[in-house]
Amino acid sequence: MEIILNANEIGMEVAEIEGDAVFFYKYNNLPSHEELFNQLKRMFLDFHSQIKLYETRRICNCGACTAAIGLTLKFVVHEGDFSFINVNQSKKPYGADVILAHRLLKNNINSEEYVLFTNNNLKDNHQDFPLPQNGSENYEGIGEVQYNYFLLNRCAELNILNKYHNFLIMR
């Protein structure tokens, strides 16, 4: 978690840490698409660099430590309307688009690592990511939601990882 939190270069706020997930949000001053893609790349590369180092340098062979090398990342990027509610002196975003962002993690993408963009977020292809694939989900109470996604396990094929971390090898 700390790797992901420390890789936050664009000033996103942490709404909460939810088990093995971090819910970030950005209110006003939205990043450009290039800044957003660079942020996702940084989090992905920093995370997997740490996992690879951990795999080769760990001294504990308990179940949790050996399973850590199988951890993966999924990103959901959604732009929408939300308000804030105060809970125990913490400001939390809430609203239909916050619910949708959470629901988008339940999808039919057949991959353990991806970046999912709702269609209102993806305006340009980014040179360092593969061509986006299209998808949609039908959520009860929301309806059909169109999205695009990139499979991050293909990043090694595009030499993204070698470009930034020569020692990082993805499986």
**What distances in angstroms separate CA 111 from CA 14, 70, 169, one per listed residue?**
25, 13, 18
- Average pLDDT score over the chain: 83
Q: How far apart are CA 135 and CA 132, in angstroms?
A: 10
Domains by residue range for the chain, with CATH: 2-164 (3.30.70)
Q: What is the pLDDT of residues 65-74, one digit of tens each?
A: 888 888 889 9
Global pTM reads 0.81
pLDDT, tens only, 72-117: 899 999 988 999 999 888 889 999 999 999 999 999 999 999 999 9
Query: Which amino acid does the sequence have at 164?
Result: Y
pLDDT tens for residues 32-56? 888 988 899 899 988 888 888 888 8
Four-point Cα dihedral 109, 12, 53, 126, nearest 10: 50
